[in-house]
Amino acid sequence: MASVRKRSNKWQARVTRKGYPAETKTFLTKADAERWSRQLESEMDRGRFVSRAEAERMTFFEVLDLYMKEVSPTKRSGKDEIIRLKAMQRHKMARLRMTAITAKAIGEYRDERLQSCKAGTVVRELGMLSSIINHCIKEWGLAIQNPVSQIRKPAMPQGRDRVLSESEEQRLLEAFTPIKNRNHYMRPMVIVAIETAMRRGEILGLQWEHVNLKKRTAYLPITKNGEPRTIPLSSRAVKTIQQMPRSIDGRVFAINAAAMETCFKRGRERALLPDIHFHDLRHTATTRLAGKLSNILELSAITGHKELRMLKRYYHPKAEDLAKKLG
């Protein structure tokens, strides 16, 4: 049963039906109140009604709070995610009710963020928003739609294709020669990165207990894509690791990310290679490995790429070489 009554210059609609919780909402006009009532009754008649009361009550700020308490701590990068979510709470969108998080609201957030952030950052934030809203729907039962899929994503810039030449590699290694006060972990880190295509975080997290120099392998229990992998070590990588001193904390490279970043920036300046990023070492390694491994599945087993399409840019087979294989 639906009823609409006027209260303090507004119209309150109330829908009650056996087997359903009572639904109440206030509108500025009687027509809107009646329209809402008819919609709810129609959904109840068709058995498609889901209460929106909780979604209309909760703000996006409250959802982020709950997500940071229940979900973020379970993730490997939970601390970093919490920092990003707290920043998101300072945005005006956080004051909206969950039912007001529409495609328009998300689009306005996107456009505003693009004024101060790179497209890649905004795309990652939209992905995080989509994950949070999906969690609200699937785990917390909020009766809302995910509007993120409805909006246009910013165009991603073309990925970096910076590959070190052999002479540039030598200049970089010379810049990290451990003399005076230079960090003695940097030179072997660069070598291992170029030989294995490991990511920075994987190198920094590498433990001695996971390195098998006899089998020439290194086990990575925690990776960016969430799946552990075991990577082969080249003769050069093995020789470099063998010469490393053992640290008390069990890590092969006992240096934190901030110190490593500072040391790398200083080293690239000494090498007169200011445009080089540490991630370019992984790109260099993958490019060289692609020249040795014709099987893209073998390459992905080493690099940890989940999507093979990401590796296609490293392969440039010549037609004459393919013709020889065909016989």
Nearest Cα to Cα of residue 114 among 105, 123, 104, 101 = 123
Residue 92 annotated in active site: no
Query: In terms of domains, do 281 and 137 share one?
Result: no
Query: In terms of domains, do 313 and 203 share one?
Result: yes
Cα separation of 59 and 152, whole Å? 24
Assessment of whether the complete model's pTM goes beyond 0.85 = no
Q: Of 231 and 5, which is predicted with more confidence?
A: 231
pLDDT value at 318 more than 80:
no
Residue 270 annotated in active site: no
Region 42-52: what's the mean pLDDT?
Answer: 67
CATH code of the domain covering residue 125: 1.10.150
Cα separation of 146 and 126, whole Å? 11
Query: In terms of domains, do 35 and 120 share one?
Result: no
Q: How far is CA 210 from the centre of its chain?
A: 25
Query: In terms of domains, do 203 and 282 share one?
Result: yes
Q: What is the CA radius of gyration of the chain?
A: 28
Query: In terms of domains, do 317 and 201 share one?
Result: yes
Residue 109 annotated in active site: no
Query: In terms of domains, do 75 and 17 share one?
Result: no
Are 44 and 28 in contact by the 8 Å Cβ rule? The answer is: no
Q: Which of 199, 200, 268, 283 is catalytic?
A: 199
Q: How confident is the model at residue 280, as a pLDDT?
A: 93
Cα separation of 298 and 39, whole Å? 56
Please write down the long-range contacts of 213-220, taking CB distance under 8 Å and 24 or more positions apart.
Answer: 213/238, 213/241, 213/242, 220/304
The per-residue pLDDT for range 120-173, each reduced to its tens digit, is 889 999 999 999 999 988 888 787 889 998 999 988 766 677 889 999 999 999
Q: Which of 229, 266, 279, 313 is catalytic?
A: 279
Q: Please provide the average confidence, as pLDDT, over all residues in the chain.
A: 87
The per-residue pLDDT for range 236-245, each reduced to its tens digit, is 999 999 999 8
Residue 282 annotated in active site: yes
The per-residue pLDDT for range 76-123, each reduced to its tens digit, is 778 888 999 999 999 999 999 888 899 999 999 999 999 998 888 899
Residue 316 annotated in active site: no
Which amino acid is present at 40? L
Residue 224 annotated in active site: yes
CA angle 275, 281, 285 (to 5 degrees): 140
Q: Is residue 155 part of a domain?
A: no
pLDDT band at 48 (very low <50, low <70, confident <90, very high): low
pLDDT band at 2 (very low <50, low <70, confident <90, very high): confident
Query: In terms of domains, do 39 and 64 share one?
Result: no
Query: In terms of domains, do 181 and 310 share one?
Result: yes
Q: Is residue 308 part of a domain?
A: yes
Domain that holds residue 77: 57-150
Say which residues have a Cβ less than 8 Å from residue 66's Cβ, sequence separation at least 6.
140
Cα separation of 98 and 55, whole Å? 5
Q: Which of 171, 200, 282, 283 is catalytic?
A: 282
